Amino acid sequence: MFRSILFPTDFSDYARRVMDCIAGLPGVDEVILVHVIPSSSHIAIKSDLHSQAYEHIESDRMTLEQLGLLKTKAFVLESDDVARSIEETAQAHESSIIVMGARGKGLIKGLHLGSVTNRVLHISKKNLLIMRGQIIEKLSGEKFQKFCPMIFSKILIPVDLTIESWDAAQKVAQIPDVQEIIVGYVIARGETEREVERQYKEADTKLKEHCSHITTKAEIRWRILEGDLVSRINEYAEEADVSLVCTTPTEKGFFAEILHGSFSSELARLASRPVLVIRRQK
């Protein structure tokens, strides 16, 4: 999953904390660093921007080598479409995943994903790991262990009852580092008590059937929740103290990505845990 990582950086302290986390992720073989300078930057300062960027990115590359990652590459690009440049670089170098922070600077702390991260989520065909700001900013000790080297220790996977939504569970189950998988299904509020009971029984039967067909060494169980889909998944991620929330954009069911990743975007926007978006192979 994390064999070849593309990591876009703006050289902030926040980005360096994400980079420290990358060095602790399981199975990493190669890291490609990329920094994008806006093409519209004033010509008088563009040369200085390039010079400073090369200096910073080479320093970061050497830091990764000191942390034990010997296969590293670094690129400084120029573009006014930062997200598109990130995606094209990931495709060109056959990166298995893009790792990005979500340090959005909205007025309401924790409720802004960051425009570049959000656009990459919408346009990219690559797997994407989004590290929330409040997690990275406080990483140390046990928290660092949980969200970096042990990021696969306890995974929450939201599903609906369509086959397509189970793609993430099937892929995650094959990762050797996974210790526990919780499959989460949400029943919307507003139904009658009898209807909720009917939906609960139907979901329980189907979840049991689907989980029984997943081959994994990890412990796997399911949980049926009630409430708003995105909010309840994120609340339960906190309640269960999971290390990662994982989802796959689908074309059917109530996870349908009608707006090119709307569910995944909302999930990542409100999450207090890292969010892994696994792309389906067509």
How many structural domains does the chain have? Answer: 2
Q: Interior CA angle at 260 toward 255 and 261, to 5°?
A: 50
Split at pLDDT 50, 70, 90, the class of 84 is very high
Report the C-alpha gap between 20 and 206 in whole angstroms: 41
Which has the minimum average pLDDT: 78-82, 102-106, 202-206? 102-106
- Do 142 and 105 belong to one domain? yes
- Do 161 and 145 belong to one domain? no
- Do 20 and 120 belong to one domain? yes
Report the C-alpha gap between 271 and 246 in whole angstroms: 11
Higher pLDDT, 121 or 102: 121
- Give strand pairing partners of 73: 32
Long-range CB pairs of 177-180, under 8 A, 24+ apart, other chains included:
177/26, 177/27, 177/150, 177/152, 177/153, 178/152, 178/153, 178/216, 178/217, 178/218, 179/152, 179/153, 179/154, 179/218, 179/219, 180/153, 180/154, 180/155, 180/218, 180/219, 180/220, 180/221
Q: Which of 119, 149, 179 is the last residue of a domain?
A: 149
Q: Which of 114, 149, 184 is the last residue of a domain?
A: 149
As a whole number of Å, the CA-based R_g of the chain is 20
Query: Is residue 191 predicted with pLDDT exceeding 90?
Result: no
| Residue 223 contacts residue 183 (beta carbons within 8 Å) | yes
- Do 172 and 211 belong to one domain? yes
Query: 3-state DSSP call for residue 201?
Result: helix
Split at pLDDT 50, 70, 90, the class of 184 is very high
The CATH number covering residue 77 comes to: 3.40.50.620
- Do 49 and 158 belong to one domain? no
- Do 135 and 166 belong to one domain? no
Report the C-alpha gap between 4 and 32 in whole angstroms: 8
Domain extent, residue 273, equals 152-282
Mean pLDDT, to the nearest integer, of 215-234?
92
- Do 114 and 228 belong to one domain? no
DSSP code, position 137: T
- Do 239 and 193 belong to one domain? yes
Mean pLDDT, to the nearest integer, of 6-26?
87
- Do 189 and 282 belong to one domain? yes
- Do 103 and 6 belong to one domain? yes
* Model pLDDT, residue 144: 63
* Model pLDDT, residue 139: 61
| Residue 167 contacts residue 255 (beta carbons within 8 Å) | no
The per-residue pLDDT of the chain, averaged, comes to 84
- Do 51 and 112 belong to one domain? yes
* Model pLDDT, residue 158: 93
Split at pLDDT 50, 70, 90, the class of 41 is confident
Mean pLDDT, to the nearest integer, of 79-97?
95
Q: Which of 122, 149, 176 is the last residue of a domain?
A: 149
Q: How many residues are listed for the chain in this entry?
A: 282
Mean pLDDT, to the nearest integer, of 151-180?
88
- Do 132 and 214 belong to one domain? no
Please classify residue 141 by burial: count the beta carbons closer than 10 Å to its beta carbon, then call 0-12 exposed, 13-18 middle and 19+ buried.
exposed
Q: Interior CA angle at 161 toward 262 and 233, to 5°?
A: 50
Which pTM does this prediction carry? 0.88
